């Protein structure tokens, strides 16, 4: 151990196989979970974050190492863990992948934090001090009341956006989503004043609210969002932000107005598909309730506030055929969605979809953990119901060429400007489309569906 106290090195690994959102600085996101773990670490430890979003990992001395990983980056996490373990330095892995598959993770690391760290990190550090680190640490979901703000000072200064979390959990149950199993079905809300203090403390003028739905689905979540937006306005924070929301935001015009006044420029909305059949496939209840025929009206209401719509779509629902995908692509291009995010359906471990495909013997990848690198939403890793994997991959690649063409992007820019009456919002949308263009046109790999 160093004379200067104990050294905790926290690492954010990157999937080297496909860079995705790391191709452009504007679309990189800070590893918020590591910033929270750093905040939970008591004085007496020196804490450093090594972040492969910006720089390839270089070995740094440590007494304890904590790594976070999503499924696509977990191989890299295991590689880095091996370097430390070969020197006898204990490695802890947390995050959504390890929480879903702790037994796999324990083959590569010393200890796994299952679920959220708030309830177990202090215990883990005490066990480390006593030389009795346990294999797993699990705790009940934290109520977030005592969750400290993340240590933004430890993040790489190159991030364009400050990442802020105001709530966790989602009461919905989309088949492909790992949020309910990781963060639970109950909304848990941070103290709004502490959120506003955190926003005021970051030097960034641009924010990304990482919540799965910034306005939630019930009255207390809505009041919470109102308190945060009003706090930002009252304190004249002059930040611009984007967040994920759900289509139900159109049922709350006053909230939408307040969002705009507090600096909202863009809302990422899970459209998923333009037809009800595909929505039923994935149990996307909120879109089904509002109805696909109302999408146009919904976008208009958002545009009226000068806010742009980032529409997230999926290719590869069970009812999808090549023709259905062509229709989806056409819809994305011709509808008034401002920014297009198109992903290939990906059964992440921990989701009902993963279990279903496993049971139906439809997973195309079997060499785990190596094959997890393909679970990044661009490769086809399962056997679609009404297409061959090759047809799905080819349809998707053809779609990316169209969606990401400069002609489409230029048309979208003009249309967004017209619809929102805001050049600033149109520039936001333009930049976001460039981010997705980089992801969509990233050179295809050697991977051939399993």
170 vs 404 by CB, closer to ligand SF4: 170
What are the C-alpha distances in Å from 57 to residues 9, 53, 152?
A: 11, 10, 20
Of 270, 347, 350, 384, the one binding ligand SF4 by CB under 6 A: 270
Which residue, 177 or 266, is less far from ligand SF4 as judged by CB?
Answer: 177
C-beta separation of 145 from 191 below 8 A? yes
From the list 133, 172, 206, 427, which residue makes contact with ligand SF4 (rule: CB under 6 A)?
A: 172
Of residues 35 and 169, the one with the C-beta less far from ligand SF4:
169
Structure tokens at 423: 């050049």
Q: Phi, psi (5° rounding) for residue 241?
A: -145, 160
Which residues on neighbouring strands pair with residue 342, listed in sequence order? 313
Q: Select from 16, 14, 19, 104 the least CA-distant residue to 377.
A: 19
Nearer to ligand SF4, 174 or 309 (CB): 174
- Contact track, ligand SF4, 205-234, x by CB under 6 A: -------x----------------------
Q: Judged by CB under 6 A, which stretch of 24-32, 173-181, 255-263, 433-441 contacts ligand SF4?
A: 173-181
Counting contacts by CB under 6 A, is residue 51 touching ligand SF4?
no
Among 8, 174, 215, 314, binds ligand SF4 (CB under 6 A): 174
Question: Cα angle at 88 between 82 and 91, to 5 degrees?
Answer: 55
| DSSP letter for each residue of 13-24 | ---SS--GGGGS
What gap in Å lies between CA 212 and CA 15, rounded to an integer? 23
**Closest distance between ligand SF4 and the C-beta of residue 391, in Å?**
25
Find the part of the chain contacting ligand SF4 (CB under 6 A) among 46-54, 144-152, 167-175, 411-419.
167-175
Of 30, 67, 74, 179, the one binding ligand SF4 by CB under 6 A: 179
On whether the CB atoms of residues 337 and 311 are closer than 8 A, the answer is yes
Choices 171-179, 342-350, 357-365, 397-405 (CB under 6 A): range interacting with ligand SF4 = 171-179
Quick one: tokens of 106? Answer: 């324990």
Cross-strand bridge partners of residue 315: 344
Backbone phi, psi, residue 77, to 5°: -60, -45
**Candidates 16-24, 168-176, 357-365, 377-385 — which segment interacts with ligand SF4 by CB under 6 A?**
168-176
Alpha carbons 429 and 433: distance in angstroms, whole number:
6
Spatial CB neighbours of 342, under 8 Å, sequence gap ≥ 6: 313, 314, 315, 329, 332, 396, 399, 400, 403, 436, 440
Beta strands in 75-199 (DSSP E): 91-94, 111-114, 136-138, 161-164, 167-168, 188-189
* Minimum distance, C-beta of residue 175 to ligand SF4, in the bound complex (Å): 9
Nearest to 161 by CA among 220, 204, 114: 204
180 counts as binding ligand SF4 under rule CB under 6 A = yes
Q: How far is the CB of 172 from ligand SF4 (least distance, A)?
A: 4
Pick 212 or 274: Cβ nearer ligand SF4: 212
CB 82 → ligand SF4: shortest distance, Å? 33
Quick one: which segment of 116-124, 135-143, 170-178, 343-351 binds ligand SF4 (CB under 6 A)? 170-178
Q: Which residues of 277-292 are buried (b: 16+ CB within 10 A; e: fewer)?
A: ebbebbebebbeebeb
Residue closer to ligand SF4, measured from CB, 80 or 245: 245
Contact range with ligand SF4 by CB under 6 A, out of 122-130, 169-177, 329-337, 433-441 = 169-177
Strands 161-164 and 206-209: parallel
Q: How many residues bind ligand SF4 (CB under 6 A)?
A: 9
320 binds ligand SF4 (CB under 6 A): no
Residues lying near ligand SF4 in the complex (CB under 6 A) are found at 170, 172-174, 177, 179-180, 212, 270
């Amino acid at each position: 151990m160093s004379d200067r106290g104990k050294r905790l090195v926290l690492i954010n690994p990157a999937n080297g196989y496909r860079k995705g959102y790391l191709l452009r600085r504007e679309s990189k996101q800070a590893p918020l979970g590591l910033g929270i773990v750093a905040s939970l670490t008591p004085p007496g430890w020196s804490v450093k974050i090594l972040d492969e979003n910006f720089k390839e990992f270089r070995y740094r001395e440590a007494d304890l190492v904590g790594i976070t990983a999503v499924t696509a980056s977990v191989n890299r996490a295991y590689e880095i863990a091996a370097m430390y373990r070969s020197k006898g330095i204990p490695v802890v892995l947390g995050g959504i992948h390890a929480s879903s598959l702790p037994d796999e993770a324990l083959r590569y690391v010393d200890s796994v934090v299952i679920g959220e760290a708030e309830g177990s990190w202090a215990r883990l550090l005490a066990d480390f001090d006593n030389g009795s680190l346990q294999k797993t640490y699990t705790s009940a979901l934290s109520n977030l009341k005592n969750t400290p703000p993340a240590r933004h000072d430890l993040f790489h200064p190159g991030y364009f956006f400050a990442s802020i979390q105001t709530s966790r959990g989602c009461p919905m149950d989309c088949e492909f989503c790992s949020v309910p199993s990781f963060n639970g079905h109950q909304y848990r809300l941070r103290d709004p004043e502490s959120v506003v203090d955190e926003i005021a403390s970051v030097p960034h003028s641009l924010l990304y609210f990482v919540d799965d739905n910034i306005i939630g689905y019930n009255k207390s979540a809505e009041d919470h969002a109102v308190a945060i937006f009003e706090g930002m306005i009252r304190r004249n924070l002059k930040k611009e932000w984007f967040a994920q929301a759900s289509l139900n935001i159109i049922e709350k015009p006053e909230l939408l107005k307040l969002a705009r006044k507090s600096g909202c420029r863009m809302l990422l909305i899970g459209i998923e598909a333009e037809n009800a059949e595909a929505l039923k496939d994935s149990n996307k209840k909120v879109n089904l309730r509002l109805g696909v025929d109302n999408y146009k009206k919904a976008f208009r209401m958002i545009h009226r506030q000068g806010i742009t719509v980032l529409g997230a779509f999926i290719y590869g629902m069970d009812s999808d055929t090549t023709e259905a995908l062509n229709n989806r692509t056409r819809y994305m291009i011709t509808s008034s969605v401002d920014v297009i995010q198109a992903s290939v359906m990906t059964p992440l471990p921990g989701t009902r979809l993963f279990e279903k495909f496993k049971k139906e013997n439809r997973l195309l990848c079997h060499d785990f953990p190596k094959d997890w690198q393909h679970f990044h939403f661009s490769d086809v890793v399962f056997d679609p119901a009404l297409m061959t994997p090759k047809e799905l991959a080819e349809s998707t690649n053809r779609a990316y060429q169209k969606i990401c063409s400069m002609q489409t992007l230029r048309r979208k820019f003009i249309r967004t400007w017209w619809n929102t009456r805001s050049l600033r919002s149109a520039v936001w949308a333009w930049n976001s489309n460039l981010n997705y263009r980089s992801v969509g046109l990233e050179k295809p790999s050697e991977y051939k569906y399993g």
